[in-house]
Amino acid sequence: MCWMAAIPVAISLVGGMMGAQNAKQQGAFQSAMAEQNAAYKEAAAQDAEKRGGVEADRYRRQVGQLIGTQRTGFAANGIDVNSGTAAEIQDDTAAFGEFDALTIANNAAREAWGYRVGADNDRMNARMAQSNAKGAAAGSILGGVGGAFSSFAGGR
């Protein structure tokens, strides 16, 4: 008859251990998902930086072509392209073009920064999931021990 009193104790202990294992597995899964999301966001940040560099270079080439068109137009009208107003217009075009190219690169860097902030948040969430899982596992074990004690004490 004594062995029958041990059944609820054993069930409580096994239930607590199973709950702890489940909590650890769930935490590991959530942590892995958050780490994977962080990796995706880091890849997106690198892509944004690369796209920004490519787009800025493309824009610089366009500005160079525009300056070439300006020079051709001035020369076709008999204007000296290397002095006076013609030279100033070309210098202004080059300066504003470079400013725009730098703006393109800066916007890409800001986009990348946003992705990296998101990746950092995901990494923090991964650590939090692991920490929460440990707490839930400990709580499950303590709950199982408490249930076992209650079953044992109630059977006496």
pLDDT at 23: 75
Predicted local confidence at residue 14, as pLDDT? 72
Burial of 78 (C-beta count, 10 Å sphere; 0-12/13-18/19+)? exposed
Give the pLDDT confidence score for residue 123 in this predicted structure.
Answer: 92
Q: What is the pLDDT of residues 18-57, one digit of tens each?
A: 777 777 788 888 889 999 999 999 999 999 999 999 999 9
Q: How far is CA 54 from CA 16, 29, 48, 112, in A?
A: 57, 38, 10, 14
d(CA 136, CA 134) in angstroms, rounded, equals 5
Q: What is the pLDDT of residues 86-127, one digit of tens each?
A: 999 999 999 999 999 999 999 999 999 999 999 999 999 998
Measured distance CA(119)–CA(84) in Å, rounded: 52
